[in-house]
Amino acid sequence: MGDKNIYKPLISSSSYIHPSAVVIGNVKIGANVFVGPNAVIRSDETDEDNLVSPVVIEDDVNIQDNVVIHALAGSTVKIGKGSSVSHSAIVHGPCEIGRECFIGFGSVVFKSSVGDGTVVMHKALVENVMIPEKRSVPSGSLIKCDEDAVMLGPVTEDLTAFARKVRQNNLKLLNSPIYHRSDSPEIAVVMGSKSDMDVMKECINTLNHFDVRHEVRIISAHRTPERAHSFATGANSRGIKIIIAAAGKSAHLAGVMASLTTIPVLGVPMQTSDLGGLDSLLSVVQMPGGIPVGTTAIGRAGAKNSALLAVSILALADKTLSERLVNYRKAMQHEVEKMDDELCSLIPC
């Protein structure tokens, strides 16, 4: 048996999967992919070596409602960048759909490859063929041998424009408030390593105190650069309003995040054993003009303050949060006054 992790879907954080859609097994979904209601994407059949071949959905693809994408054991499915698979279509492996293709309502594509830019209109059956690039498959066609495929005419400009429009409209859904769940996190707390967690608990506890919805991730600018990239580019479309990024040593995480998104990024430099955190501080704070990172103090104080700073930014548009922040300050004030009173009672002022 191979590595069990390869059987888990790997989905870019910039993509949207509707809660009613089902994604099972060795499925890789790239950036900015929209998967609509009731779509099923399964890669679960094992071959003779007990391995599961992948279903790969490249960036900017849209998979509409009730689409089924599945593969026979040992075969793969690939949907190329910028393609659309429309309502109730079935793409069954082995199958390769090229880039910027369109597969229409209720069409079935099985054991076939479809060249870049080809448009398959509605209720067509494409089986056991290779369709060259930029062909047009009319609605209701049966394309079952290479002779059928050779007879296909070129895709017209109108069809290409239609496919582009469908793609653009569906990708817009990624940013639509209709698909933003009201319980989605507003703040992302990202740290470069699990070893940062002990300090970053200060941040997380403070966000919990203010009841601010947040998510916590471990993403490294150096060790998982691709994940850092897809996380930062997708944060805005997922409704994240502020990223808090903590890292130590040569701490690029906050800067990398800030370079890939326009939402505010707060950097927390971690204390280090070699240089006490000065290394982290300078790496986080010394951003060249143009890409700002709001930097807090090194270590625990900085972790706590990053949360408070994030809360104060959110409070600009949230009266309840603003009141909580005022009360938090008042409580701190009372605590210090109490300390002073106690001291004065021991040593008369």
Q: For residues 175 and 26, what is the distance between their CA atoms, to the nearest angstrom?
A: 27
Q: Which helix (H) or strand (E) holds 266?
A: strand 265-269
CB of 195 to ligand RP5, least distance (A): 3
Identify the burial level of 294 via C-beta atoms within 10 angstroms of its C-beta, where 0-12 means exposed, 13-18 middle and 19 or more buried.
Answer: buried
Q: For residues 108 and 150, what is the distance between their CA atoms, to the nearest angstrom?
A: 19
CB of 327 to ligand RP5, least distance (A): 33
Contacts 24+ apart (CB under 8 A), 288-291: 291/255, 291/258, 291/259
Could you say which of 25, 80, 104, 192 contacts ligand RP5 (CB under 6 A)? 192
Could you say which of 270, 303, 311, 313 contacts ligand RP5 (CB under 6 A)? 270
Could you say which of 60, 196, 202, 279 contacts ligand RP5 (CB under 6 A)? 196
Residue 42 lies near ligand RP5 (rule: CB under 6 A): no
Question: Per the omega criterion (within 30 degrees of 0), is the bond before 94 cis?
Answer: yes
Q: What is the size of the binding site for ligand RP5 (CB under 6 A)? A: 10
Render 21-81 in DSSP notation, one character per residue.
-EEEESEEE-TT-EE-TT-EEEE----TTS----EEE-TT-EE-TT-EEEE-TT--EEE-T
Residue 195 lies near ligand RP5 (rule: CB under 6 A): yes
Q: For residues 191 and 221, what is the distance between their CA atoms, to the nearest angstrom?
A: 10
**Would you say 114 or 219 has its CB closer to ligand RP5?**
219
CB of 191 to ligand RP5, least distance (A): 6
Could you say which of 42, 134, 249, 304 contacts ligand RP5 (CB under 6 A)? 249
* Residue 242 and residue 186 in contact, taking contact as beta carbons nearer than 8 Å: yes
Could you say which of 38, 46, 75, 193 contacts ligand RP5 (CB under 6 A)? 193
**Would you say 152 or 199 has its CB closer to ligand RP5?**
199
CB of 272 to ligand RP5, least distance (A): 7
CB of 68 to ligand RP5, least distance (A): 41
CB of 305 to ligand RP5, least distance (A): 18
The 10 Å CB-count burial string (b at 16+, else e) for 73-107 is: eebbbbbbbbbbbbebbbbbbbbbbbbbbbbbebb
Residue 220 lies near ligand RP5 (rule: CB under 6 A): yes
**Would you say 35 or 284 has its CB closer to ligand RP5?**
284
**Would you say 185 or 299 has its CB closer to ligand RP5?**
299
18: its two tokens: 């509707």
Sheet strands side by side (includes 84-85): 16-17, 34-35, 62-63, 84-85, 102-103, 119-120, 136-137
Q: Which stretch binds ligand RP5 (CB under 6 A): 130-138, 142-150, 205-213, 242-250?
A: 242-250
CB of 250 to ligand RP5, least distance (A): 8
Q: Which stretch binds ligand RP5 (CB under 6 A): 81-89, 119-127, 247-255, 292-300?
A: 247-255
Residue 175 lies near ligand RP5 (rule: CB under 6 A): no
- 3-state secondary structure at position 252: coil
Residue 279 lies near ligand RP5 (rule: CB under 6 A): no
Positions touching ligand RP5 (CB under 6 A) are: 191-193, 195-196, 220, 247-249, 270
